[in-house]
Amino acid sequence: MTYVAIAVIGVLGLFNVVLTMTVVRQVRRHEEKLANWRSEPGMPQLNDIPVGKEVPDFTVTTLSGQEIFSGDLVGERSLIAFFSTHCEPCKNHLPDFRDYAITTMSGPARVLAVVVGGEDEAGDFIEGLTGVASIAVQPMQGPMVTAFSVTAYPTIYQLDERGRVAASGRSVRMLERIAGHRGVPADA
């Protein structure tokens, strides 16, 4: 009887090891797919500005009437985010973006949020970003969307002190992960 119990425990232990190895292998495959998602067939090609490159020259007028130029974001780390009024993930990521901007940037002058859609549709975004970011509302083919070749929403750029892209992503978590992998502290 004891030998049967030991055999059963041994078989269960072996089964557990095999099952665990299978799960680990699947998780690794999933991580690889996520890391390479841009190059997979059928996925939309995203035209992010590469890390280390300067952002394109731009001028944008915010809802408060202030004109912001690309050069205004040089000197301190900054964020530029693109949200669409018709994008459910944008609405879901807005609270995280707001918290990230508050805790990592030195004020609304360092955060530019471009809301794509009509001003009448942008109310939730305007409310959520007021006091945290300089807000501009533009149409789908507006000058900022065109200058940055934005094709997916949300799109977030973290700029370094020289106005170069330090990290970019579709969410704050992705931005933190990318910045962390490059040795760039996301909140330094």
Which tens digit of pLDDT belongs to each residue from 149-181? 888 899 999 999 998 988 888 888 877 776 654
Percentage, residues of the chain above pLDDT 90: 38
90, 171 contact by CB (below 8 A)? no
Please compute the mean of the pLDDT values over residues 57-74 and round it to a whole number. 91
Residue 98 bridge partners (DSSP): none
**What integer pLDDT is reported at residue 137 of this predicted model?**
95
* Residue ranges per structural domain of the chain: 2-35, 59-181
- Residues 168, 156 contacting (CB under 8 angstroms): yes
Q: Which of 12-16, 76-80, 184-188 has the lowest mean pLDDT?
A: 184-188
Residues 52 and 21: their CA atoms lie apart, in Å, by 38
Classified as helix, coil or strand, 69 is strand
**Furthest-apart CA pair in the chain: how many Å?**
84
DSSP per-residue letters across 152-171 = SSSEEEEE-TTSBEEEEESS
59-181 CATH fold: Glutaredoxin (3.40.30)
Task: For 85-122, write each residue's pLDDT tens digit.
Answer: 998 999 999 999 999 999 888 888 899 999 999 888 99
The span from the CA of 116 to the CA of 129, in Å, is 14
Give the neighbor-by-neighbor strand order of the sheet with 78-84.
Answer: 134-138, 111-116, 78-84, 155-159, 165-169
pLDDT at 46 over 90: no
pLDDT value for 34: 58
Residues contacting 26, CB < 8 A, separation 6+: none
How far is 169 from 116, CA to CA, in rounded Å?
A: 17
Average pLDDT over residues 35-57: 64
